[in-house]
Amino acid sequence: MPKRLAKQRLRKLQISDVDHAPPEIRTQRRRLRTCHECDWVSALPPLKYGEKANCPRCGYTLVRRHRYPAQRSMALALSALVALILAISFPFVSFNVSGVSNRIELTQTATTLIGFNQPLVAIAVIMTIVVLPAVYLTGVVWLQFGLLRDQPLPFSRDIARALSHLAPWLMADVFIIGALVSLIKIASMANIELGTSFWSFCAFAVLLLATTQSLDADWMWFSLDNGEPQAPHGTRTAATATEQGLAGCHTCGLINRMDPTAKKTRCIRCHETLHSRLPNSLQRTWALIIAATVMYIPANIYPIMNTTSFGNTTPSTIIGGVVELAQMGSWPIAAVIFIASVIVPVGKLVALTWLCLVVKRSNELNAHKRTVLYRVTEFIGRWSMVDVFVVAILVALIRAGSLMSITPGPAALAFGGVVVLTMLAAMTFDPRLIWDTPPPRYSGKVDD
């Protein structure tokens, strides 16, 4: 009888209703999920709009339900794309000093760096603030448009997989902070005028952030197939997936049974490669930590930019820039740069190093605090790009020859490398290792 009622409810759903029909009312089966951070298997409760389901073991958010997820995401993505088009179509900012003026567009923050033999930094800037966000937003529109029609468009599953991998590299909000720091640094030396592009990009950054937060991945993957495969027979809750020979997909959330005879096991729904634990997680994390530490040395020793004023050229290191801002009385901005360029990268390296050292000695008592530390470390890493964006903006804007000009220093590439390497180190570290109970040590005694 309940199955018949469920089928009748599904038949009554119109295409316009699909957007506000959460999985809870489209299936009567119990839906299971594996926590990505502690590997605990839980059953998803019925969720109302605005509610979320957290892992009972570590507190990780498994599912967050939104009202009208497709309409909301699509509207925000389209608005963000319009704002981005405006941002790249009009002047970004201009300055005037002693009768010499210059005006730049948003894309010149990257293209100018190529002329100073900094192509890698230029690629990093343009990719993180324009290209990848545009690809991400286009993918959201393509995906949600098909779901609203109840007819997924071609490549929808591939696009849905790609969205989760692109999200960490979208840095429009970080670029806005870099732009504000840049303008404050030169406001005392020149007259600054903000263009239409600047305000459009501010709106774009806010809309992009709102778009990423509006995606309901659980609803999205459920709607792509109008359902989801059941968890493998015999799956138990209140236990880890690994001890049951299972693994949860980090992309779509579906629980799959691992094939011990196969080299690779893929998710049966989204075809993402599955791992009970990321292979060689600690070794890869250690390698990236060491590489980032090595690059952090030249990033602080060499100048990140060179400032020419009335024929005199002055190199400026990261710490030197912080001191200069403090001497100018811009203590809040100096604090922002110091935190983003010194505290964050050093703290992230120290935190990841400590986690790698103690991960094999973790237990239930301290695992939660160490998991919280990992979450903070993963979240803050991208904000270190502020200094790189500051250099990109100032180099493009301040070009008045011997009167006043700024050129990038060798530390710009090194520091950008530190940011990327530390982000990759956090991604390769598997937090599920924190919750694994270490095997008992061999005492040397043999039982009779």
286-338 residue pLDDT tens: 999 999 999 999 998 998 888 777 667 778 888 888 887 787 777 877 888 88
β 404-408/273-274 pair status: unpaired
Please name every residue paired with 257 in a beta bridge, in sequence order, or none if there are none. 246
d(CA 320, CA 327): 10
The answer to whether residues 386 and 174 touch, using CB atoms and an 8 Å cutoff, is: yes
Give the residues of the chain that fall short of pLDDT 70.
1-21, 24-28, 98-99, 188, 310-311, 400-403, 437-448
d(CA 153, CA 155): 7
Please name every residue paired with 127 in a beta bridge, in sequence order, or none if there are none. none
The pLDDT, as a whole number, for residue 381 is 83
Q: Is 122 exposed, middle or buried (0-12, 13-18, 19+ CB in 10 A)?
A: buried
The pLDDT, as a whole number, for residue 16 is 45
Please name every residue paired with 408 in a beta bridge, in sequence order, or none if there are none. 305
Report the run of H or E that residue 197 belongs to, with start and end: helix 196-214
The pLDDT, as a whole number, for residue 26 is 66
Q: Report CA torsion sign: 160, 162, 165, 170.
A: negative
Say whether 12 sits in a helix, a strand or coil. helix
The answer to whether residues 170 and 208 touch, using CB atoms and an 8 Å cutoff, is: yes
Q: Report CA torsion sign: 22, 23, 24, 28.
A: positive
Report the run of H or E that residue 274 belongs to, with start and end: strand 273-274
Q: What is the DSSP string of 381-431?
A: GGGGGHHHHHHHHHHHH-EETTTEEEEE-THHHHHHHHHHHHHHHHHHS-T
d(CA 46, CA 54): 13
Q: What is the model's pTM?
A: 0.88
Question: Domain spans of the chain?
Answer: 2-68+231-262, 69-219+279-435
